[in-house]
Structure formats: C-alpha cells, structure tokens
Amino acid sequence: MEITSFILGVCAVIVLMMVVGTLVNYMTTMSLKKEINGLQKEVENLYRDLETKEQQLYDFGSGLDQNLRDELEKLYRHIDSRVDKTVVGTSQQIADIYRQLDKLENEGKSVING
C-alpha cells in the first residue's frame, strides 16, 4: 500500500509538473506572439514611412529637375536677348560704315570729276 501511495504521489507530482510546464509554455508563447505582432506592426509602419520618404524624395527630385529646366530656359532667353542686341548693334555699325564709305566714294568721285 505504501508503494501504491508513493507511486500515486509521484504520478501526481509528475502530472502537476506537466501542467505547470504546459502553463509556462503557453504563457511564454502568448508573450512571444504579442511581441511578434508588435514587431510586425512596427515593420509595417517602417515600410509605410519608407514609401512616404521615397515619394517625398521623388517629388523633391522632380521639383529640382523642373527648377533646373526653368532656370536654363531663363538663361537661354537672356543669352538670346543679349545676342540679338549685339547683332542689332553690330548691324547698325556696319550700316554706318557702309554709309560713310558711300559718302567717301561720292566725295571722291566729285573731286575726280570736278
């Protein structure tokens, strides 16, 4: 009878240890599951932030590109304006030179003829 009581006591302790072990494992699993869910949400937030930053970077790059094109267009217009003014000024000077040459030529003819 003592042996049966001893065996039943040992079995009860073993079953109790298994229940406690199972409970500890369940609690640990639940804790890890919560932590994994929290980390998954954090990864999703980081991914969303990364997409937002990527879009902002793309928009910034597009803005820089447009700004560069606008500034180049202004520069081209300015250069074209200056070239036109130079051409007009040079054309007027050449026309003045031809007028003076014509005048000198006419004076030279009148001196020779006259």
Tell which residue, 6, 98, 73, has the closest CA to residue 90. Answer: 98
Tell me the average pLDDT across 34-63: 96
Q: pTM to 2 decimals?
A: 0.53
**Residue position matching structure tokens 């009878």:** 1
Per-residue pLDDT at 54 exceeds 90: yes
Summarize pLDDT for 66-80 with one digit per residue, the tens.
Answer: 999 999 999 999 999
Tell me the C-alpha distance between 100 and 96, whole Å.
6
pLDDT band at 107 (very low <50, low <70, confident <90, very high): confident
Tell me the C-alpha distance between 82 and 85, whole Å.
5
Backbone angles phi, psi at 6, to 5 degrees: -65, -45
Per-residue pLDDT at 104 exceeds 90: no
